[in-house]
Chain A
Amino acid sequence: MLPTDAAAPAWSWNLIGDFQQMWSYPFMVNAFRAGTIVAVVSALVGWFVVLRRQSFAAHTVSTVAFPGAAGAVLLGVGAVYGYFALCIAAALVIAVFRGGGDREESALTGTVQAFLLACGYLFVALYKGLLEGPQTILFGTFLGITTTQVTVLLCVGAAVLAVLALIGRPLLFASTDPRVAAARRVPVRGLSLAFLVLLGAATAGASQITGTLLVFALMVIPAATAQHLTARPAAGLALAVLVSLTATWAGLTAAYYSPYPLGFFVTSFAFAGYLLALVPRALLGLRGRTRRPRTGLPPLEATG
Chain B
Amino acid sequence: MSALAALPSPTSPLSQPFFQHALLAGTLIAAACGLVGYFLVLRAQVFTADALSHVAFTGAMAALALGGDLRLGLLTATIAVALLFGVLGRRARPDDVVTGSVFSWLLGLGAFFVTLYTTSRSTADGTAGVGVLFGSVFGISAGQATTAALIATGVCLLVLLAARPLLFATLDEAVAAARGVPVRLLGYGFLAVAGVSAAEATQAVGSLLLLGLLAAPAGAAIRLTDRPYRALILSAALAVWEMWTGLFASYALPKMPPSFAIMAAATAVYAATFLLRRPVGHPRTAAPAGE
A106 interface residue per 8 A CB criterion: yes
* Cα of A80 to Cα of B203 in the assembled complex, Å: 32
A-B contacts, 12 listed (Cβ < 8 Å):
A55-B99, A56-B50, A59-B50, A103-B41, A104-B282, A107-B46, A107-B218, A121-B209, A135-B130, A259-B119, A263-B107, A271-B104
Which residues of chain A are within 8 angstroms of B93 by Cβ–Cβ distance? 298
Q: Which residues of A contact B216 (CB under 8 A)?
A: 107, 110-111, 114-115
Closest to A100 in B: B282
Contact A224 B100 (CB under 8 A): yes
Instruction: Kindly count the residue-residue contacts between A and B in the assembled complex, taking CB atoms under 8 Å apart.
Output: 211
Q: Which residues of B contact A297 (CB under 8 A)?
A: 173-174
B contacts with A: majority SS: helix
Q: Give the A interface residue count (CB, 8 A).
A: 63
Do A213 and B111 contact each other (CB < 8 Å), given the known contacts A110-B49, A115-B263?
yes
The one of B101, B133, B285 that contacts A271, using a Cβ cutoff of 8 Å: B101
Tell me whether A103 and B215 are in contact (CB under 8 A). Answer: no
Contact with B along A266-299 (1 / 0, CB 8 A): 1110110010000000000000000010001111
Which residues from B are CB-within-8-Å of A217?
A: 104-105, 107-108
A163 CB-CB contact with B under 8 Å? no
A304 within 8 A of B: yes
Report the minimum CB–CB distance from B58 to chain A (whole Å).
11
Which among B20-28, B66-74, B251-259 touches the partner chain? Answer: B251-259
A299 CA to B169 CA, complexed, in Å: 14
Q: Which B residues, 76 to 114, have Cβ-Cβ distances below 8 Å to chain A?
A: 90-91, 93, 95-97, 99-105, 107-112, 114
Tell whether A89 is near chain B: CB-to-CB under 8 Å: no
B45 contacts the other chain (CB 8 A):
yes
Tell me, yes or no, whether B260 is within 8 Å of chain A by CB: yes
Establish whether residues A118 and B100, one from each chain, have CB atoms under 8 Å apart when the complex forms: no
| Closest B residue, CB atoms, query A126 | B255
Across the interface, do A121 and B259 meet the contact criterion of CB distance under 8 Å?
yes
Least CB distance, B249 to chain A, in whole angstroms:
12
Q: Are B266 and A111 in contact (CB under 8 A)?
A: yes
Contact A114 B209 (CB under 8 A): yes
> Do A55 and B209 have beta carbons less than 8 Å apart?
no
Q: Hey, which chain B residues are within 8 Å of A102, CB to CB?
A: 44
Q: How far is the CA of A227 from the CA of B105 in the complex (A)?
A: 18
Decide if A133 is an interface residue (CB 8 Å cutoff). Answer: yes
Instruction: Give per-residue flags for A101-125: 1 if the beta carbon is below 8 A from chain B beta carbons, else 0.
Output: 1111111111101110111011001
Does A132 sit within 8 A of B, measured CB to CB? Answer: no
Q: Are A221 and B104 neighbours in the complex by a CB distance under 8 Å? A: yes
Find chain B residues with CB under 8 A from A56 CB.
Answer: 46-47, 50, 96, 100
CA distance A227 to B95 in the complex (A): 14
Q: Which of A115, A263, A304 contacts B285 (CB 8 A)?
A: A304
Tell me whether B222 is interfacial, beta carbon within 8 Å.
Answer: yes
Name, among A106, A221, A227, the residue most crowded by chain B CB atoms within 10 Å (CB to CB): A106
For B206, list chain A residues within 8 Å (CB). Answer: 121
A99: min CB distance to chain B, Å = 9
Contact of B173 with A266 in the complex, beta carbons under 8 Å: no
Chain A residue with the shortest CB-CB distance to B173: A298
Asked if B208 lies at the interface with its beta carbon under 8 angstroms from chain A, I say yes
Is the beta-carbon distance between B108 and A118 smaller than 8 angstroms?
no
User: A residues within 8 A CB of B97?
Assistant: 50, 53, 55, 220, 224, 227
